[in-house]
Amino acid sequence: MRLAQEAQARAATARRRRFRALAGAVLAAVAVAAPVIAVSGGGSTYAVSGTKLSGVSFSSRLFAGIPQHGTVLGRPDAPVRIIEFADLQCPYCREYTAQALPSLVRDYVRTGKAQMEFENLSFIGPDSVQAGHVAAAAAAQNKLWNFVDLMYLNQGTENTGYVTSSYLRRLLLAIPGLNVAAALSTSQTRAADAALTEANNLAVKDGIDGTPSFLIGHIKGPLRQFQPATLTAAPFAAALTSLKAGSR
């Protein structure tokens, strides 16, 4: 148990150090790494060049029927809010998405007990920025969480150039009800740049120093930083239970 706890602490330290080293460059990256994506029409398949994505049906079912508004997932009157700061290339963020997010969505967001917000920091490299622009475009259609989930389920190795126009188009085509052509067009606008800059500014304001990082609290009250001991659902469930108990 002690060795496992030490390993988790080392991983958390590595996440914080990398963000401190790289986050200062994110504004420049956002400014120069505009996506180069050919706009095309939508379609009913999610395969491009014979390559299929992983987790499409699972992801679609996970978010089906849950309201989304921009970066927010869940009912506007939910009593608790969780804000996640993440990079779409971050492997630790993928770990959280695979291990914790499905249970949190099913048990807390779908039931109206909590809402979740995603802040896209896009600091790891150009692939992060490229994907971040498209994520912002998906948010404009209230489909951000579908895009983010699918990207994590199909994440490649950091900064290998895997975030190509074909890859991004496959993700968009797999999202039910999304207008692919409109999303690709929006991804090339100043509004997409602004979304990434705003997320980075919020992270600096709130003292976020690693990914994934979280703020948690009552919807009408102050939020506090929350760093889970593990990237599983259990520490989040405990924190949410504590918030509920404290509100009595």
Summary count for the chain: helices (H), strands (E): 11, 6
Q: Which amino acid is located at 181 in the chain?
A: A
**What mean pLDDT comes out for the span 233-237?**
96
Nearest-angstrom CA–CA distance, 10 and 191: 37
**pLDDT tens digit sequence for 15-28:** 544 554 444 544 44
Q: Where are the domains of the chain?
A: 12-37+54-246
Nearest-angstrom CA–CA distance, 101 and 84: 11
Cβ(126)–Cβ(57) under 8 Å?
Answer: no
**What mean pLDDT comes out for the span 51-80?**
95
Tell whether the torsion through CA atoms of 165, 38, 195 and 142 is positive or negative: negative
Cα–Cα–Cα angle for 61, 62, 64, nearest 5°? 60
The CATH number of the structural domain formed by 12-37+54-246 is 3.40.30.10
Q: Which amino acid is located at 243 in the chain?
A: L
| pTM of the model as a whole | 0.83
Tell me the residue length of the chain: 248
Q: Are strands 114-120 and 80-86 parallel, antiparallel or unpaired?
A: parallel
Q: Among 39-43, 60-64, 88-92, 192-196, whose mean pLDDT is lowest? A: 39-43
Long-range contacts of range 189-195, CB-CB < 8 Å, 24 or more positions apart?
191/136, 191/140, 192/35, 192/132, 192/133, 192/134, 192/136, 192/137, 193/30, 193/31, 193/34, 193/133, 195/120, 195/132, 195/136, 195/139
- Helix boundaries (H) for the chain: 2-22, 26-32, 56-63, 91-99, 101-104, 126-140, 144-153, 165-173, 180-186, 190-205, 233-246
**What mean pLDDT comes out for the span 45-69?**
81
**pLDDT value of residue 247:** 64
